[in-house]
Structure 1
């Protein structure tokens, strides 16, 4: 009897996929998704349309309440250590107010854990904001220097907190080499990583695959829901991974992998 995969984030295809049709090269979508990514996305989109595990307002129904927030989702077709072909799923940023959901790979680093350095740091920023607002409400000339001092302190604290966040995001590649976001973006010529780097779907997917000895086969991302502020993002349409946040990370995570772009 064949072994059955028990990885909680590995999703088998609804139809049998022969390993003979899988290329030795890794397929990275530029203009059109790989056929296996289309199959994976179709299954994931069916889940998104019918699931009752969580509530998130994508703006696709008049019955949903709260702010409309469309999301980028990603699918990574993989071969797991048992030789099975299936796919991993991920979303960018948060979904339904959380970083963690069944069916989707976990974040590279979870910023939302209770009593984390981020929560503590944000509480400190809140106190500073309250102090500055109180002094500004007094509108007293003698408080001017103190307000300037507090604003400089707030800025320095905010920058230090962001740097600390970047240092907690560590990415692996196929060889098991590990680098922080700070190092990855410095090697790519950036002074600092952009805000939100490391939280996109694609880096999450590759990180999970490498950590769990899965061979990446093809990657694609699609938008689900209404587009915020503009009509750039189209519901159900596929898009290439972003250049600003993802390409520098790929420069590390995809080292040693032969890539074909579609």
Structure 2
């Protein structure tokens, strides 16, 4: 059903282009073969990268997360060796601090304080209970009313003696516990100082590592982690994951990456399970992806070009035209503009839809082609996969669509405010529990095929997160055929490209 199971991706810091590297079924198979050879029980991430060398041969790199190195595995990032002596000194100092903290946390005064405190609490409680019983007896005797003044004074003296006894016991408690508390507080204060010293040393060492760690990309650029991330805070361990190691080493060797896969092996934990594949971690790896993938700019596949028009095979995930925000500047139009070509898109494809996109080289050509679209003289055929088997083999979906201005670009079926929308569908194949369909839109509303599939057939397109399609690596909707009349030659142009899924 699909060759790609995940995309490593990032925005190129130089061009703003969205760069992607797939995890494929082949990469997963190679990774699964690697799993059978791992004997280390310690749980950690492992990864493989398929790369093409200058001779066109495929090489396989493998890496594991962390600082260790082993023969046959991708080494750590270049630069750490420059600070080995300083790192060793700091690590020894950190170990000394650790041992002193352990020693201070286990001083005998802690146990002595707890034992004495518990002992005095028992004595005080027993004394209070005895004195309470004595007081009740004195009160009873007083209430009888037949005591003389001397006997009453004796009772009062007993009360005063008990009060002095309680005071004396508390003074004794204070004399015993205060020296212990003083030593414990001194140890606690020293632990606070040592922990702060440890934090400072760790931070200094981390900054030193980030200044020395050198990352390389496929544009030939080389930057330290510190320069790459600027003022952004870097979590401990940044640069020690599999993906940065693999991409950095591939760039240094002059390999062109084809696919990559990362998996967890060893004892499972709350977040990771043995044998499962995972994508780039958000904290440490994802911020580096844009730089690491730079130089892998995917050229747009031109399927037709003449003096007036260009037709391309737009990949899924790429905008037709740029949006208003910085993270939506990677688009077909902008990529051509960087090549010195100012093209005008005659129509649009959704960002997640792949397939034929037609662009005009001049305003006159654009107007002629736009008229054909407006007059419904252009034939468009899409192919899609639905996540269930549908019963009708073909038919026309006729549902009016309306887009709420407050919830763009989401479209809904609305019989009062919606615009007339018609889509022809035909089942062209059934694969397991999936249906493969051709869609021919007679009108050109936003998200028309996606909404008509979900609302008209009751099944969302596979991977359509917006309209409740079953989760997948991509939206399985592809514009595979476009037929129109050339505005200059008047000849009919039939463009057809294969469906990639």
Establish whether TM, by shorter chain, passes 0.5: yes
1:74 pairs with one of 37, 43, 47: 47
Pick the aligned partner of 1:85 from 34, 58, 66: 58
Structure 1: gaps of 5 or more residues:
1-24, 49-54, 58-68
- SS of 1:155's partner is helix
Mapped pair 1:171 → 2:215: yes
1:170/1:178 contact within 8 Å kept = yes
SS of residue paired to 1:206 = helix
Contact 1:74 1:202 in 2 (8 A): yes
Deviations 1:98-132 (A, max 9, x none): x2222211111486999632221011122334455
Contact 1:88 1:104 in 2 (8 A): yes
Residues 199-225 of structure 1, C-alpha deviation per residue, up to 9 Å, x if partnerless? Answer: 100111111111111111111111223
2:273 is aligned with 1:234: yes
- For residue 155 of structure 1, report the CA deviation from its aligned partner: 2.9
Q: Is the 8 A contact 2:51 2:255 kept in 1?
A: yes
Quickly say closer, same or farther: Cα 1:215–1:158, change in 2 above 3 A. same
Q: Given the alignment of the two structures, is residue 219 of structure 1 paired with residue 203 of structure 2, yes or no?
A: no
Cross-structure match for 1:3: none
Contact 2:19 2:293 in 1 (8 A): no
Name the residue aligned to 1:252: 291
Query: Paired residue for 1:40, among 30, 37, 53?
Result: 30
Aligned pairs for 1:121-132 within 5 A: 121-131=90-100
Range with bigger deviation, 218-227 or 114-123: 114-123
Is the alpha carbon distance of 1:130 and 1:242 closer, same or farther for their aligned partners in structure 2, counting shifts above 3 Å?
closer
Structure with the greater alpha carbon radius of gyration: 2
Partners of 1:26 and 1:218 within 8 A in 2: no
Structure 1 position 226, deviation (Å): 2.6
Relative to 1, partners in 2 of residues 1:86 and 1:27: Cα closer, same or farther, differing over 3 Å?
A: farther
- Give the equivalent residue in structure 2 for 1:11: none
1-structure distance, mates of 2:286, 2:195: 34
TM value normalised by structure 1: 0.67
Q: Say whether 1:155 aligns with 2:202.
A: no
Structure with greater proportional strand content? 2
Contact 1:26–1:217, Cα closer than 8 Å, also in 2 = no
Supply the distance in 2 between the matched residues of 1:43 and 1:134 (Cα, whole angstroms): 47
| 1:14 alignment counterpart | none
Structure 2: any 5+ residue segments left out of the alignment?
1-17, 110-182, 299-314, 318-472, 474-501
Aligned pair in 2 of structure 1 residues 116, 40: CA closer, same or farther (>3 Å)? farther
Shift in Å, 1:87: 1.5
Please tell me whether the aligned partners of residues 75 and 245 of structure 2 are also in contact (alpha carbons under 8 angstroms). Answer: yes
Q: 1:100 aligns with which of 66, 69, 76?
A: 69
Q: Give the secondary-structure state (helix, strand or coil) at the position aligned to 2:37.
A: helix
Provide the aligned C-alpha RMSD in A.
Answer: 3.2
State how many pairs are aligned. 209
TM (norm. structure 2) is 0.37
Does the C-alpha gap of structure 1 residues 233 and 71 become closer, same or farther in structure 2, counting only changes over 3 Å? same
Per the alignment, do residues 152 and 194 of structure 1 end up closer, same or farther by CA in structure 2, a change over 3 Å counting?
closer
**C-alpha distance in 2, partners of 1:142/1:37?**
58
| Secondary structure, counterpart of 1:47 in structure 2 | coil
Q: 1:52: which partner in 2? A: none
Offset at residue 39 of structure 1 (A):
3.4
